[in-house]
């Protein structure tokens, strides 16, 4: 089976025995849980869209390992065209879900582990690349969703992994056995882990020799014994328990994150992709971060398209669409959103081949992309709130709207232009609320800030990649300075 349908994907998740906890309770049926289901639907969209002929070119491609048709989310990029299509695919998925569809972390992990294992083997004579290719083929043939897990809790940020008061604050090997390793630690903010078949673990920072046991990468099924997921709270999350499609803003799609614990988890030898070769930890981190910073030039732009559309609809419903300042705000939002897209496309078009044969984005441009993503969605959200008006946060609930007595008042007094129902006006305002302040704000705002690395991480990379020495030379040449 090279491609799963959305329904097959849902059924495949039912078969997993995941240890998920939320509000202090174990969730026995995560697939049908009303708080978790919208996030599952977002991943399902990556399967559904791949079945549609009009998106075939973006959503699917041919495996270099098997020659079979596969979902692009499991692909190893072969050229810059693949890198560009990846960004376009993410914009499409963002447009269709208005949420984080989660599957990109696995794709970005695949491509970074692919090239890093190749180089580790070349230096150390290890067999990680073969291990990884075997795993990747399995993921492609079964069309799996894989969670790329990088972020450790990190404890005291001024201390290296081995120097922490609690050695488990970075995930590490606690036992080496003939048949594999045992690992302990946690990965924080795991986007989509509860909707994934496998978790692909990578180190979170560059490491020195003393951190050897922390320089570890591997993939195992998400229902492996010892893996525990604790769901993170989101603003307005329990609205999903109320059964109102208006009040949640986006009733079908969402995203979800979990603190994922690895409580002495066994990893068999053939699933290990790094084990002590500490000098490659930083390489892996830099590549994964680079790919994921490129990703944000696609996914956030797609969600931005929905938010800009929602603001334009809200303006129409308010009768304000012809006001020049409203038009100008929509232009500004579009300008900012398309600037992010330019960055995503540019770092892809400027990509280059790695020693392993796959393609890597231009690191400087990918970091510029993500740096802009830490800012522009905030401004787009601010302008959307400006256009929407205060009602997006003061409107009564759907229950009140449906109440025979109160509903008549709400219908009468919260009407905008006469041709539009009050219900529709409330629907679009709730969508804007969801994207800017509600459950989706995790993905559109705070994740824009911290996902794929916080702003300072990009500034460090920009400093490193910016080639100031070359620029100084240029200036001196023009100024005819001879030293
Ligand atoms: Fe994909 Fe964007 Fe979610 Fe990352 S934040 S997993 S790139 S949708
Ligand atoms: Fe993310």
296 lies in a domain?
Answer: yes
Specify whether 150 is located in the same domain as 19. Answer: yes
Specify whether 113 is located in the same domain as 219. Answer: yes
Q: Confirm if 399 and 117 have CB atoms less than 8 A apart.
A: no
479 lies in a domain?
Answer: no
Report which secondary-structure segment, H or E, holds 270.
none
Nearest ligand to the C-alpha atom of residue 101? 1
Burial class (CB in 10 A: 0-12, 13-18, 19+), 309: middle
Mean pLDDT, rounded, of the chain: 98
| 217-241 mean pLDDT | 97
Nearest CA to ligand 1 atom 1: 104
Q: Tell me the per-residue pLDDT of 146-201, one tens digit each, with 9 for 90 and over.
A: 999 999 999 999 999 999 999 999 999 999 999 999 999 999 999 999 999 999 99
User: What SS3 state is found at 31?
Assistant: helix
**151 labelled binding-site residue:** no
Q: Tell me the per-residue pLDDT of 460-476, one tens digit each, with 9 for 90 and over.
A: 999 999 999 999 999 99
Find the 81 Cα to ligand 2 centroid distance in Å.
23
Looking at 230, 261, 278, which one is the last position of a domain?
278
| 402-413 mean pLDDT | 98
Specify whether 351 is located in the same domain as 249. Answer: no
Specify whether 200 is located in the same domain as 291. Answer: no
292 lies in a domain?
Answer: yes
Using only the alpha carbons of the chain, give its radius of gyration. 23
Find the 65 Cα to ligand 2 centroid distance in Å.
27
Specify whether 254 is located in the same domain as 382. Answer: no
Q: Tell me the per-residue pLDDT of 326-364, one tens digit each, with 9 for 90 and over.
A: 999 999 999 999 999 999 999 999 999 999 999 999 999
Write the Ramachandran bin of 231: left for phi over 0, alpha for psi from -120 to 50, otherwise beta.
beta
d(CA 114, CA 128) in angstroms, rounded, equals: 9
481 lies in a domain?
Answer: no
Burial class (CB in 10 A: 0-12, 13-18, 19+), 418: exposed
Crossing angle, helix 363-373 and helix 324-349, to 10 degrees? Answer: 160
478 lies in a domain?
Answer: no
Find the 145 Cα to ligand 1 centroid distance in Å.
13
Find the 449 Cα to ligand 1 centroid distance in Å.
12
**Sign for the pseudo-dihedral over CA of 280, 360, 136, 107:** positive
Specify whether 305 is located in the same domain as 395. Answer: yes
Distance of CA 401 to the CA centre of its chain: 35
Specify whether 317 is located in the same domain as 219. Answer: no
Domain count, the chain: 2
Contact 191 CB / ligand 1 (< 6 Å):
yes
Contact 222 CB / ligand 1 (< 6 Å):
no
Token digits of residue 421: 């129902």
Determine the Cα angle at 54 with ends 304 and 96, to 5°: 25
| 124-140 mean pLDDT | 98
Specify whether 224 is located in the same domain as 319. Answer: no
Per-residue pLDDT, 2: 85
Q: Tell me the per-residue pLDDT of 418-451, one tens digit each, with 9 for 90 and over.
A: 999 999 999 999 999 999 999 999 999 999 999 9
Q: Looking at the predicted structure, is the pLDDT value of residue 19 above 80?
A: yes
Nearest ligand to the C-alpha atom of residue 106? 1
> 348-380: buried (b, 16+ CB within 10 Å) or exposed (e) per residue?
beebeebebebbbbbbbbbbbbbbbbbebbbeb
Phi, then psi, of 183 in degrees rounded to 5:
-120, 150
Specify whether 328 is located in the same domain as 446. Answer: yes
Q: Tell me the per-residue pLDDT of 43-97, one tens digit each, with 9 for 90 and over.
A: 999 999 999 999 999 999 999 999 999 999 999 999 999 999 999 999 999 999 9
Q: Looking at the predicted structure, is the pLDDT value of residue 370 above 90?
A: yes
329 lies in a domain?
Answer: yes
The CATH number of whichever domain residue 51 belongs to comes to 2.40.110.10
Task: Scan for tokens 């796959």, then name that residue.
Answer: 358
Q: Looking at the predicted structure, is the pLDDT value of residue 1 above 70?
A: no
Looking at 246, 278, 310, which one is the last position of a domain?
278
Q: Which residues pair with 268 in a beta bridge?
A: 180
361 lies in a domain?
Answer: yes
Contact 46 CB / ligand 1 (< 6 Å):
no
Nearest CA to ligand 1 atom 2: 299
Specify whether 294 is located in the same domain as 237. Answer: no
Q: Which residues pair with 359 in a beta bridge?
A: 353
94 contact partners, CB below 8 Å, separation of at least 6: 101, 298, 299, 300, 301, 302, 303, 304, 305, 306
**Confidence band, pLDDT 50/70/90 cuts, at residue 18:** very high
The CATH number of whichever domain residue 318 belongs to comes to 1.20.140.10
Specify whether 353 is located in the same domain as 417. Answer: yes
Looking at 278, 306, 341, which one is the last position of a domain?
278
365 lies in a domain?
Answer: yes
Specify whether 393 is located in the same domain as 315. Answer: yes
Given 3-state DSSP classes, what are the helix, strand and coil percentages for the chain, each rounded to the nearest 5? 55, 15, 30
Q: Rounded to whole angstroms, what are the CA distances from 67 to 137, 141, 328, 470?
A: 11, 11, 49, 43
Domain housing 355: 283-471
HEC profile for 390-454?
A: CHHHHCCCHHHHHCHHHHHHHHHHCCCCCCCCHHHHHHHHHHHHHHHCCCCHHHHHHHHHHCCCC
d(CA 81, CA 97) in angstroms, rounded, equals: 24
- Ligand 1 pocket test: pick from 43, 87, 451 the residue with the most ligand atoms within 8 Å of its Cβ: 451
């Amino acid at each position: 089976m090279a491609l799963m349908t959305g329904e097959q994907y849902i059924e495949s998740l039912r078969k997993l025995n995941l240890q998920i906890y939320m509000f202090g309770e174990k969730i026995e049926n995560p697939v049908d849980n009303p708080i978790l289901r919208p996030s599952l639907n977002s991943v399902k969209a990556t399967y559904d869209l791949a079945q549609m002929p009009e998106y075939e070119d973006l959503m699917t491609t041919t495996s270099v390992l098997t020659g079979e048709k596969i979902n692009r989310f499991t692909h190893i990029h072969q050229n810059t065209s693949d890198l560009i299509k990846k960004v376009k695919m993410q914009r499409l998925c963002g447009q269709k879900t208005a949420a984080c569809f989660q599957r990109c972390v696995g794709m970005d992990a695949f491509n970074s582990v692919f090239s890093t294992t190749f180089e580790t083997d070349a230096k150390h004579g290890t067999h990680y690349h073969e291990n990884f290719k075997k795993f990747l083929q399995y993921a492609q043939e079964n069309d799996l969703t894989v969670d790329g897990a990088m972020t450790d809790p990190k404890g005291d940020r001024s201390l290296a992994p081995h120097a922490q008061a609690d050695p488990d604050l970075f995930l590490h090997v606690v036992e080496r056995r003939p048949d594999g390793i045992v690992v302990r630690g946690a990965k924080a903010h795991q986007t989509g882990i509860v909707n994934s078949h496998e978790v692909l673990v990578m180190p979170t920072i560059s490491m020195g020799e003393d951190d050897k046991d922390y320089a570890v990468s591997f993939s195992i099924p998400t229902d492996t014994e010892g893996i525990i997921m604790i769901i993170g709270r989101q603003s307005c999350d329990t609205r999903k328990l109320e059964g109102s499609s208006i009040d949640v803003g986006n009733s079908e799609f969402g995203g979800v994150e979990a603190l994922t614990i690895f409580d002495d988890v066994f990893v068999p030898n053939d699933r290990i992709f790094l084990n002590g070769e500490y000098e490659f930890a930083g390489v892996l981190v830099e590549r994964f971060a680079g790919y994921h910073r490129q990703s944000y030039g696609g996914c956030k732009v797609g969600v931005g398209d929905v938010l800009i559309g929602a603001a334009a609809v809200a303006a129409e419903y308010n009768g304000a669409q012809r006001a020049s300042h409203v038009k100008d705000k929509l232009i500004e939002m579009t300008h900012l959103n398309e600037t992010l897209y330019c960055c995503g496309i540019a770092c892809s078009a400027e990509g280059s081949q790695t020693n392993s044969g796959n393609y890597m984005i231009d690191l400087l441009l990918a970091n510029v992309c993500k740096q802009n993503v830490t800012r522009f969605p905030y401004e787009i959200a601010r302008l959307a709130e400006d256009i929407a008006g205060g009602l997006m946060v003061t409107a009564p609930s759907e229950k009140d709207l449906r109440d025979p007595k109160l509903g008549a008042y709400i219908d009468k007094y919260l009407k905008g232009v006469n041709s539009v129902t009050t219900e529709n006006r409330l629907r679009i305002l709730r969508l804007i609320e969801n994207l800017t302040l509600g459950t989706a704000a995790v993905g559109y705002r705070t994740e824009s800030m911290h996902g794929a690395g916080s702003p300072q991480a990009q500034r460090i990379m920009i400093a490193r990649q910016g080639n100031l020495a070359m620029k100084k030379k240029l200036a001196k040449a023009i100024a005819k300075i001879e030293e």
